[in-house]
Amino acid sequence: MPLNVISKNEGVSPVIGTILLVALTVVLVGIFGAILMGFGMAEPAPILGISIGSQGNMITVTHLNGAELPAGSYKILVDGVDKTAEFGGTVDFGPGITLSWDSGTEAVGTVSVIYTGTSGGETVLAQKTIDKAGSGGGSGGDGFEDKYTIIAGKRIEWADVRDFARFNGGAGYTFVLGNVYVDYDNEGKEEYWVSLNAQWLSTADAILYTNISEYMTHYSDYRLYLIDLSKKIYNTSDIETPGGTWKSPYPTRGSLYEYVGALYMDAIDISNPNNPSRNAGTDWVKIAYIK
């Protein structure tokens, strides 16, 4: 019986064909990738973690972990406007570094961190809605920060309070007497609420109520009181004599009092006409300075 003889060329041909096919695939992928890059398609973004936060007017972007972003390979946008330089983002952005920007009176809606790489394409690495309105008007506040400077450390964003209460292991948040909690109405204008007693915001309430107005409709203990500049603001001319009694109409809870360059809020239900006190923790709490 004749033997089937397989030549060397027949045995090697399939192997060579496979190698050529793989090589051709690599070349085609490279060409296709180059074409995509030429059309502005974003190159693969690095893997990393970024946190965006706010405390009062200060907006922060923190690199938590992962790949370092070389200077020039990323942008920080605020409502679509490039604010990289304002954040100090002209440095290599690596783990543990926080970039910050004092937004002052500017409104801040959405903050985005964008990877630009070298291709000209853009990839969103992190994005957060801050919803901070610019100062100069608002329901209740009525331009409050145009006229007064809130005492350092007392200006607290409601969004930050909610986040703390929601993610604090179920411990919630305890309001601090005299703190000014900043929130926004349906038109995005600022409201200012003062803590008049150290009540507790539960985790459940922090999840349920997105703004202070909703929250306070369910509580009658005046734990937070809305600043309203349209109402009478008291001063020393409303006192009969130094250290004497208040003139009618008497101040009540939430009344504002200007005294020696500062602004106070009445913290009790009905002030004692015979005791126009300005001491924190008694009748009045000091909340701001007059500009």
For residue 125, name the pLDDT band (cuts at 50, 70, 90). very high
Q: What is the pLDDT of residues 257-268, one digit of tens each?
A: 999 999 999 988
Q: Decide if 118 contacts 126 (C-beta within 8 A).
A: no
* Assigned CATH class of 49-132: mainly beta
pLDDT exceeds cutoff 80 at 43: no
Q: 53-62 b/e with 16+ CB inside 10 Å = b?
A: bbebbebebb
Q: What is the pLDDT of residues 228-278, one digit of tens each?
A: 988 999 998 888 876 678 888 888 888 999 999 999 999 886 667 777 777
Q: What is the average pLDDT value for the chain, to the nearest integer?
A: 79
pLDDT of residue 64: 86
pLDDT of residue 140: 43
For residue 225, name the pLDDT band (cuts at 50, 70, 90). very high
Q: Decide if 139 contacts 191 (C-beta within 8 A).
A: yes
pLDDT of residue 99: 92
How distant, in Å, are the alpha carbons of 55, 152, 260 from that of 100?
10, 18, 34
Where do you find CATH 2.60.40.10 in the chain? 49-132
Nearest in space to 178 (alpha carbons), one of 60, 283, 101, 66: 283
Give the integer Cα–Cα distance in Å for 204 and 170: 9
pLDDT of residue 187: 66
pLDDT of residue 33: 46
How distant, in Å, are the alpha carbons of 126, 147, 184, 278 from that of 104?
23, 15, 16, 30
pLDDT of residue 37: 46
Question: For the residues 148-177, what does the mean pLDDT come to?
Answer: 89
Question: For the residues 86-105, what does the mean pLDDT come to?
Answer: 89
- pTM value is 0.53
DSSP at 238:
G
Nearest in space to 95 (alpha carbons), one of 51, 44, 43, 42: 51
| The residue to which tokens 């690495």 are assigned | 125
Q: What percent of the chain has pLDDT over 70?
A: 76
pLDDT of residue 261: 94
Question: For the residues 5-25, what does the mean pLDDT come to?
Answer: 50
